[in-house]
């Protein structure tokens, strides 16, 4: 009889970026901090812009398609987040991460 190999249960995390720049930034952070066999399965998705309402809706739909343990959304703060967006994020257990004023400005600030 063959022995069963038990695989460890991984914590699944979904990070949703507003656009290409956010996805590139999140991918860079993933390469720095998430190592193989660390117990975390990190997935990064691009919502392709269109405002905070659409991006939160995209994250909610992605969460309904697959059972992620944690979901975070990286958004620019150049457009205000309405209370409806914040409420929908809280209801669906999404973490909203804002870059002030936008991710490009944040990256330029890092460069000095």
pLDDT 10s digits, 74-94: 999 888 899 999 999 999 999
Query: What pLDDT does residue 1 have?
Result: 65
67 inside domain:
yes
Query: Rounded CA gap, 43 and 6, in Å?
Result: 23
How many structural domains does the chain have? 1
Domain of 87? 49-72+81-93
Strand partners, 72: 15, 95
Query: Rounded CA gap, 27 and 32, in Å?
Result: 9
85 inside domain:
yes
35 inside domain:
no
User: What is the residue-level pLDDT of the chain in tens, covering all 112 positions?
Assistant: 678 888 888 999 999 999 999 999 999 999 999 998 889 999 999 999 889 999 999 999 999 999 899 999 999 988 889 999 999 999 999 999 998 878 888 888 888 8
* Token output for 84: 């409806």
């Amino acid at each position: 009889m063959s022995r069963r190999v038990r695989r460890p249960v991984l914590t699944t995390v979904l990070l949703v970026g507003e656009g290409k720049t956010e996805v590139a930034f999140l991918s860079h952070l993933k390469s720095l901090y998430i190592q193989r066999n660390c117990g975390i399965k990190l997935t990064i998705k691009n919502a392709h812009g269109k405002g905070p309402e659409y991006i939160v809706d995209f994250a909610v739909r992605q969460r309904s398609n697959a059972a992620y343990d944690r979901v975070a959304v990286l958004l620019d703060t150049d457009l205000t987040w309405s209370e409806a967006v914040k409420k929908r994020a809280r209801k669906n257990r999404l973490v909203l991460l804002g870059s002030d004023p936008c991710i490009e400005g944040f990256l330029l600030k890092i460069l000095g």
